[in-house]
Each structure stands twice: as C-alpha cells, then as structure tokens.
Amino acid sequence: MPDIEEIVEKEEVVDEVVDESKDVEKEEDVCDDIPVYFKSFIDKHLKDLTQIYINERREKKMYGILLLEGNLKDEKMDVGFLPEINIEPDMLKGFKSRNVNGRIMHIMCHDVEKLDKHYVIERVL
C-alpha cells in the first residue's frame, strides 16, 4: 500500500486527486442505512474533508479513518481523524483489505442519538 506522501507528493496533486473523484462513482456505502444528513454533509464538504484526511495522515505518518460525529437535532457535525493505533484490530484489517491501492478514504459516521450505530462510507481519493 503506498504511503500518503506518495499519493500527495506535490501540492497540486491534492487538487487533482479531489477533482478526479468527481469522475468516479460518488460513494460506496458499506452500510445501507446511513442517515441522509451524513451523505449531504460529505457531498457538500468533500474537498475539505479530503484535505483534513490527507493532512492528518501526513502529520501522523500512519493510516487512519475520518470520523464524523453528528447530531441532527442540534444540527452539529464534529470532524476528526482516528489513527490506526486507536482502531480495533479486526476493524482495521477490514478497512485495509478494502483499500488495496491506498486510494480509498474511509469515513466512519456516528450519530450521537444512536450510540450503538456506526456507518462507514468509502470515497476514492
């Protein structure tokens, strides 16, 4: 799997990668029942979320996933990066097995009103 620095060696590559994702199928939802407000937030802020993901991976020098914690009632969304050292091993293995070319950004969505539910979205970098 290529390191994130190989994917984004130059600043202009970041913009190309984001622009290329428009030509690819928008999303592959690992869960079918993802709330619409998560999908809408991701679609509206995809470029910024991609930048956060790339910058965090570069800074932490490790794989990880983007974490969205949403609250529809309060219309609030918190964005963070969960490095691989904080991901349960079996879950991490699953994420990495679906990311064979290193070009997939995994986004885990969590609704604070549904503590036991997590949703995963994949986006092509």
Q: What is the number of structural domains in the chain?
A: 1
Domain containing 75 equals: 4-124
Predicted structure pTM score: 0.72
Indicate the pLDDT class of residue 58, thresholds 50, 70 and 90. very high
Q: What is the pLDDT of residues 98-113, one digit of tens each?
A: 887 888 999 999 999 8
Distance (Å, rounded) from C-alpha 51 to C-alpha 36?
22
Indicate the pLDDT class of residue 55, thresholds 50, 70 and 90. very high
Q: What is the pLDDT of residue 32?
A: 64
Q: What is the pLDDT of residue 44?
A: 95
Q: Which residues, at least 6 apart from 42, have a Cβ–Cβ distance to it below 8 Å?
A: 27, 49, 68, 107, 121, 123
